[in-house]
Amino acid sequence: MQTKTEAPQPDLLALDQQVCFALAVAARNVIGLYRPLLEPMRLTHPQYLVMLALWEKSPSSLTELAGRLSLEPATLSPLVKRLEAVGYVTRARDAKDERALAVTLTAEGAALREYAPAVPAGIVARLGMPLSELEDLRDRLHVLIEASHQARGADG
C-alpha cells in the first residue's frame, strides 16, 4: 500500500521504461542517418563497419573480423562477399592456415578511407549534439556491452 508521501512507482512493464526498446529505437534512428552519408561510397551500414575494421587491420581472417564486429561468421560472410563484388576487398585462403579465409582491402577499398572521415562528422552534425555528449554515450554503451557479455557468460 502506497502512502501519500511516497512517489508512485514506475510501471516496470511500460514500454518507455524498457532499456531494450530505447536501444532498439535509438539504433534504428541513428543507423538511418548513416544511409545518405554512405550511399556515395556504395556502402551499407554493416559494410561500413566491416570496412572500418579492415582499415584498422588488413588482411584479417573472417573469424577475426567476426569477433571484432560481434557477428557470427555466417552473418559476416555475405557482407564480405558483397564488398568483394564491388571491388573493395578480396577473399582468399590464408597461406599459413588453409582453413582460414583472409579478407584483404583492395587499392580501391583502401582509397575509400579518404572519404570516410566525412561520415562521423556528418553524423555529429545531423544529430546536433555536442561531441562530448556523444563520446560519453559511446563510452557508457561500451560499459553496457561488456556487462551484457558478462551476463551472457554467466548464463551458460
DSSP label of 9: P
How far apart (Å, rounded) are the C-alpha atoms in residues 54 and 86? 15
Tally of CA atoms within 13 A in the half-sphere of 25 that contains its CB: 7
Map out the domains of the chain with their CATH numbers: 42-116 (1.10.10.10)
Q: Is 50 helix (H, G, I), strand (E, B) or coil?
A: helix
pLDDT score recorded for residue 115: 95
Amino acid code (one letter) for 117 = P
CB atoms within 10 A of CB 3: 5
Q: Is the peptide bond between 40 and the residue preceding it cis, with omega within 30 degrees of 0?
A: no
pLDDT digits (tens, 9 = 90+) for 9-41: 888 888 999 999 999 999 999 999 999 999 999
Q: What is the pLDDT of residue 66?
A: 96
Q: What is the pLDDT of residues 98-116, one digit of tens each?
A: 778 899 999 999 999 999 9
Give CA–CA dist 102/139, Å, rounded: 31
